[in-house]
């Protein structure tokens, strides 16, 4: 985590409300996704744990979660989004079918000097992870490509400071 979470993105940065890709779209994850989100990851625990970026992370929990526990987790992600401390997007197919998630959070505490910063870009290292349901595994690489391009074009992070496990 970074020392001042407000520094994750500049105050003037307009956080994207989503992304439309080939076969999916992203929208901010929130409590309204609870039942669909829980069903999506619960049916794909082994697949998600084998997805690059999730190995050894302890998520998702092998024993699953209750609907109430998942709701608490989604509310935390929504508060992080509103507070600009981290950004989690639900990956949707069609009108509202949850097929995955994308997470953008500070990777670790940064102690860089002001002269190391690129004007207009944040120096924070960003940890990005994403997963799709096992039955949508074919979307993992296209999602990774689309999110990588989106981060480079629409987000204020320095090139080379985004940690997103390759596919």
What's the pLDDT tens digit per position in 25-59? 999 999 999 999 999 999 999 999 999 999 888 99
Share of the chain above pLDDT 90, in %: 80
The pLDDT, as a whole number, for residue 56 is: 86
CA 116 to chain centre: 26
Q: Is pLDDT above 50 for 4?
A: no
User: How many structural domains comprise the chain?
Assistant: 1
Which CATH number covers residue 27?
3.40.630.30
Q: Is pLDDT above 70 for 104?
A: yes
Q: Please report which confidence band the pLDDT of residue 151 belongs to, taking 50, 70 and 90 as the band edges.
A: very high
Q: Is pLDDT above 50 for 122?
A: no
pTM (2 decimals)? Answer: 0.88
Give the separation between CA 122 and CA 161, rounded to whole angstroms.
9
Q: Please report which confidence band the pLDDT of residue 159 belongs to, taking 50, 70 and 90 as the band edges.
A: confident
Vertex 110 angle, CA 106 and 112, to 5°: 140
Q: Please report which confidence band the pLDDT of residue 123 belongs to, taking 50, 70 and 90 as the band edges.
A: low
The pLDDT, as a whole number, for residue 108 is: 64
CA 138 to chain centre: 19
Radius of gyration, CA atoms only, the chain: 16
| Domain residue limits at 100 | 5-164
pLDDT tens per residue across span 78-100: 999 999 999 999 999 998 999 99
Residue 93: which residues within 8 A CB-CB, separation 6 or more? 23, 24, 25, 99, 136
């Amino acid at each position: 985590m970074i020392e001042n979470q407000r520094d994750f993105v500049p105050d003037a940065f307009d956080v994207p409300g989503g992304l439309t890709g080939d076969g999916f779209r992203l929208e901010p994850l929130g409590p309204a996704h609870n039942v669909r989100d829980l069903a999506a990851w619960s049916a794909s625990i082994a697949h998600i744990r084998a997805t690059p970026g999730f190995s050894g992370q302890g998520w998702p929990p092998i024993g699953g979660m209750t609907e109430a526990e998942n709701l608490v987790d989604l509310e935390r992600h929504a508060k992080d989004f509103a507070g600009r401390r981290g950004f989690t997007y639900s990956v949707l197919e069609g009108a509202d079918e949850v097929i995955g998630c994308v997470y953008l959070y500070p990777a670790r505490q940064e102690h860089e000097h002001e002269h190391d910063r690129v004007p207009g870009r944040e120096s924070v290292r960003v940890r990005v992870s994403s997963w799709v349901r096992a039955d949508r595994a074919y979307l993992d690489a296209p999602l990774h490509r689309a999110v990588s391009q989106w981060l480079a074009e629409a987000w204020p992070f320095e090139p080379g400071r985004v940690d997103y496990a390759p596919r």
